[in-house]
């Protein structure tokens, strides 16, 4: 492996669980209260925009009450210290990685604190509620929607992610069930290109079989330990 291997990290809802943000597919998970097709599809947005906007308004408002945890902070420390290539791809739509200080970051499923114009594609930072019928400041169309990738829509940044996976020496997956593609397939792409693969998760996931190594436990414990291990090895 190169002096400073090129690293791609994928995070899912499990990295934010210890900050108090519900995951999707566990007891009390976000999908427990709603059917995906009712709040996270283009059809749902067309059928009942008020319900969809309200679902994301509630999740956006919940961000005010949570803080990055030790896992987010350790990943930001790695981002600042790592001299080699590093890309943190998150499936999460919260802003905890940014708030912890990560900069080499890509939100492949969108962001709660962003609004997207369905007409012109312009984005606007958004903090409060986003009522249906809000006009876009760029094109004035009444077409602002949550900047969230719905099921059936193309995730953001796939070309950049695939290119990073092709160059990766190390792929690390943190806090994801490996239930949703294309993210669930990244480990196989990384392996195909010769990367070493590591999973840090509370429980075995759908993708665990594809990893060279899987460490089970809370991200708040496993991620700082892994970052310390990586940085001390790089300085050796
Ligand atoms: N530390 C580490 N892992 C944890 C923790 C924790 N404290 N708590 C839960 N986990 C793990 C669970 O074991 C599970 O494997 O996090 C994973 C969460 O899985 P999901 O709830 O399915 O969330 P995620 O994998 O991010 O879902 C992927 O599905 O619904 C879509 O767009 C949504 O981005 C989401 C995507």
pLDDT digits (tens, 9 = 90+) for 51-67: 999 999 999 999 999 99
Q: Which CATH number goes with the domain that contains 234?
A: 3.40.50.1220
The answer to whether residues 217 and 162 belong to one domain is yes
For ligand 1, atom 21, the nearest C-alpha belongs to 24
Question: 32-36, 178-182, 198-202, 210-214: lowest mean pLDDT where?
Answer: 32-36
Are 159 and 59 in the same domain? no
Q: What whole-number distance in Å separates Cα of residue 171 and Cα of residue 214?
A: 12
Give the residue carrying structure tokens 């792409």. Answer: 189
Ligand 1 pocket check: which of 24, 69, 157 to mutate, most ligand atoms within 8 Å of Cβ? 24
| pLDDT confidence of residue 31 | 65
List the catalytic residues: 109
Distance CA 135, CA 158 (A): 29
The pLDDT of 208-235, averaged and rounded, is: 97
Domain boundary among 121, 148, 175: 148
Instruction: Name every residue whose Cβ is closer than 8 Å to that of residue 64 and which is 6 or more positions away in sequence.
Output: none
Q: Is 180 in the pocket of ligand 1 (CB under 6 A)?
A: yes
3-class SS of residue 154: coil
Q: Is the CB of 147 under 6 A from ligand 1?
A: no
164-187 confidence digits (pLDDT tens): 999 999 999 999 999 999 999 999
**Residue 235 alpha carbon to ligand 1 centre in Å:** 32
Q: Which atom of ligand 1 is nearest to the CA of 12?
A: 26
Report the pLDDT value the prediction gives residue 169, as an integer from 0 to 100. Answer: 98
Confidence grade of residue 29 (pLDDT, cut at 50, 70, 90) = confident
- Per the model's pLDDT, the better-predicted residue between 127 and 29 turns out to be 127
- Ligand 1 center–CA 5 separation, angstroms: 26
Q: Is 81 in the pocket of ligand 1 (CB under 6 A)?
A: no
Same domain, 48 and 82: no
User: Phi-psi category of 181—alpha, beta or left, where left has phi over 0 and alpha has psi -120 to 50?
Assistant: beta
Query: Using 50, 70 and 90 to split pLDDT, how confident is the model at 32?
Result: low
C-beta 18 within 6 A of ligand 1: yes
* Strand arrangement, sheet containing 123-125: 123-125, 110-117, 144-148
**Residue 189 labelled as part of a binding site:** no
**DSSP summary character for residue 207:** T
Query: Which atom belonging to ligand 1 lies closest to the Cα atom of 177?
Result: 15
Q: Work out the pLDDT band at 34, boundaries 50, 70, 90.
A: confident
Q: How far is the CA of 129 from the centre of ligand 1 (A)?
A: 25
Q: Are residues 58 and 163 in the same domain?
A: no
142 and 58: one domain?
yes
Find out whether 211 and 173 touch, Cβ atoms under 8 Å.
yes
Q: Is 196 a residue whose pLDDT tops 90?
A: yes
Q: Is the pLDDT of residue 49 over 60?
A: yes
219 with 128, same domain: the answer is no
Q: Which residues contact 57 (CB under 8 A, 6 or more apart)?
A: 128, 129, 130
Cα Dmax for the chain: 58
At a CB cut-off of 8 Å and minimum separation 6, what does 184 contact?
A: 176, 178, 206, 207
Q: What is the pLDDT of residue 4?
A: 85
Minimal-distance CA residue to ligand 1 atom 8:
14
Q: What is the pLDDT of residues 92-118, one digit of tens each?
A: 999 999 999 999 999 999 999 999 999
This prediction's pTM: 0.96
Q: Which domain holds residue 43?
A: 24-65+112-148
Residue 45 CA to ligand 1 center (angstroms) comes to 24
At 2 the pLDDT is 56
DSSP class of residue 135 equals P
Tracing tokens 């945890």 back to the chain, one arrives at: 69
User: Is 146 close to ligand 1, i.e. is its CB under 6 Å away?
Assistant: no
E runs forming strands in 126-167 = 144-148
Q: Scanning the structure block, which residue is given the tokens 């906007």?
A: 53
pLDDT confidence of residue 46: 95
Task: Specify the DSSP element, H or E, that contains 97.
Answer: helix 96-100
């Amino acid at each position: 492996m190169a002096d400073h291997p090129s690293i791609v990290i994928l995070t899912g809802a499990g990295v934010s669980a210890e900050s108090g943000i519900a995951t999707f597919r566990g007891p009390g998970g976000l999908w427990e209260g709603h059917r995906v097709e009712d709040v996270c599809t283009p059809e749902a947005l067309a059928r009942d925009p008020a319900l969809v906007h309200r679902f994301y308004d509630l999740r956006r408002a919940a961000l005010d009450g949570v803080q990055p945890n030790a896992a987010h902070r350790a990943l930001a420390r790695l981002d600042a210290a790592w001299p080699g290539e590093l890309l943190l791809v998150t499936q999460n739509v919260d802003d905890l990685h940014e708030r912890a200080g990560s900069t080499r970051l890509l939100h492949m499923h969108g962001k709660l604190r962003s609004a997207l114009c369905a007409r012109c594609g312009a984005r606007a930072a958004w903090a409060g509620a986003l009522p249906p019928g809000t006009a876009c400041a760029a094109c004035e169309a009444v077409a602002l929607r949550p900047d969230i990738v719905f099921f059936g829509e193309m995730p953001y940044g796939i070309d950049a992610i695939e290119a990073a996976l092709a160059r990766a020496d190390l792929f690390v997956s943190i806090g994801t069930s490996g239930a949703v593609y294309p993210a669930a397939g990244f480990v196989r792409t990384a392996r195909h290109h010769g990367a070493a693969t590591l999973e840090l998760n509370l429980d075995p996931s759908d993708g665990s079989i594809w990893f060279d190594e899987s460490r089970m436990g809370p991200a708040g414990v496993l991620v700082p330990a892994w970052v310390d291990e990586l940085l001390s090895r790089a300085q050796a």
